[in-house]
Amino acid sequence: MPEPSAPPTPPVSLAALLADGALGLRLLSGLPGDLPAAAESVAVHWVHTSEMADPYPYLLGGELLLTAGVQLTDAHADTYVRRVVEAGAAALGFGVAPVYDTVPDSLVEACDRHGLPLLEVPRRTPFTTVARGVWQLMAEERHRELRRVTEAQQGLAAAAARPDPVPAVLRQLAGRLGGRAVLFAPDGAELHSTGRDPAPGSRTALARLARVVNPPHGTATDAARGARLAAYALSGGRGLVLGVAAGGREAGDHTVTGMAVVLLSLLTAEHQGAAEAARSAALVRLLLGAAPTDAAPLLGPGPWIVVHGHGGDTPFAPSALAAALGSALAESDGTTVRVLTDRPVTAQPGWTLGVSAPVAPAGLAEADTQAGRALRHAEATRAPLVQHRAPGPGALTALIPPEEAAAHARARLSPIADSPALTETLRTWLSLHGSWDRTAVALSIHRNTVRQRITRCATLLNTDLDEADTRMELWFALRLL
């Protein structure tokens, strides 16, 4: 049987579909023993309607297959069900209209023989209504998953703030997963262990699994007597490994465990001395409401570099990139990872990076803008790393007093100053030598939108952007603004 190619949405159980009174579905055959428990174990990933005599080539696995039996005969029923089962379908829904008034006995018997759940779809329920019911249940399940992850995040954060943060985080994780969480030393000894073993022998199997993980970012998974096992090397530099064992798998478990890995990596990291303590103090001061200018001096004089990166697609991507750049100061919005470091930045395999110019703490906001622009430029030019470079002391702009230059820039760009979209599009377009396609890639917009915005800039600025002198003047103005 093929393994279903699961979609990004969580599946729904057959029991949930049967419990939806608006659909009126009725289970006829195909499930042994305790029907409610058996129906709960059947996962539906999507809905597919087909009147093919053999739908096997068109099934991905995990479907609720709906049919009215247009080409079904008693002689063909067993072959039809066998092929549906071989394709990996989760269940078969049979509509009693318009071809049949009742579900054929031959189909009921075939589903019982092959263990395929068979549902009767009543005359009043169109197949589209069944599909809509599945999508609604999936949306509700997704909402429950997000709420579970949010609650787990809050619980783990609260545990990390306790006087005994490492055992507290392990207890919280074990409780959320309904299993055991263990922190292993580099030699495999248990430093902390909490929770319950989901199956006999799972604790021993988990210890064996932890020994095969390679620090600092290795992971390993296994199964033992129905228990799901996973081991994660912590990135704190001490060779520690987190092991988890759970009896089942719920939506969001991987995300919850990823949060715990990051927290434990931070909590067990090697002590970095007074400099790290000062940086932690700066973060605490910001969280307590201090102005950035008050907290910045605690970071140290620098110079500091801001890095924006795209590439990592795991919960550990921010900490992995930060570790590679020699920093513990990282965050992610789910798309872009941002790192603050005081070390030189080099290209990293699998990452696209935008790097700011070195700045003092007071210039971090501008450096963040520089890094964002550099990342967009890197993606547009397909470069692994782009470094923002400020004009040197020999630049032409140094010949003009800064106050006069800034005043001229404000006046020249005033017609578009109230539109950040126009200003940033013009800046990016000029930096990429007037390339429509590269500008579209850098700004994640359509090339026609780029053309419309540049045309609008030319109109408002009352200038010809095909002129090299005009482009140069506007570029200098944008750099000075």
Query: Residue 333 corresponds to which amino acid?
Result: D
**Mean pLDDT over all residues of the chain?**
82
Using one digit for the tens of pLDDT, what is the confidence trace for 151-207? 888 888 888 877 678 888 899 999 888 899 999 888 888 888 999 888 888 888 888
Looking at domain 396-480, what is its CATH homologous superfamily? PucR C-terminal helix-turn-helix domain (1.10.10.2840)
Contact status, residue 235 vs residue 323, Cβ threshold 8 Å: yes
Nearest to 60 by CA among 4, 13, 11, 1: 4
CA atoms within 13 A on the CB side of 25: 27
Give pLDDT, residue 126: 93
Residues in the chain: 481
Tokens representing 474 are 């506007």
The three-point CA angle 245-250-254 to 5° equals: 65
**Buried b / exposed e across 160-173, counting CB within 10 Å, b at 16+?**
beeeebbbbbbbbb
Give pLDDT, residue 127: 93
Give pLDDT, residue 35: 64
Mean pLDDT over 123-144 rounds to 89
Looking at domain 162-267, what is its CATH homologous superfamily? Dynein light chain 2a, cytoplasmic (3.30.450.30)
**Alpha-carbon span 218 to 232, nearest angstrom:** 6
Contact status, residue 202 vs residue 229, Cβ threshold 8 Å: yes
Using one digit for the tens of pLDDT, what is the confidence trace for 413-437? 888 888 888 888 888 888 888 888 8
Provide the pLDDT confidence category of residue 94 given band limits of 50, 70 and 90. very high
Using one digit for the tens of pLDDT, what is the confidence trace for 314-325? 555 677 678 778
Tell me how crowded residue 12 is: count the other CB atoms within 10 A of its CB.
Answer: 25
Using one digit for the tens of pLDDT, what is the confidence trace for 17-35? 998 889 999 998 888 755 6
- For domain 12-136, give the fold: 3.40.1390
pTM of full prediction above 0.75? no
Three-class SS state of 357 = coil
Using one digit for the tens of pLDDT, what is the confidence trace for 4-18? 455 556 788 888 899
Percent of the chain with pLDDT over 70: 84
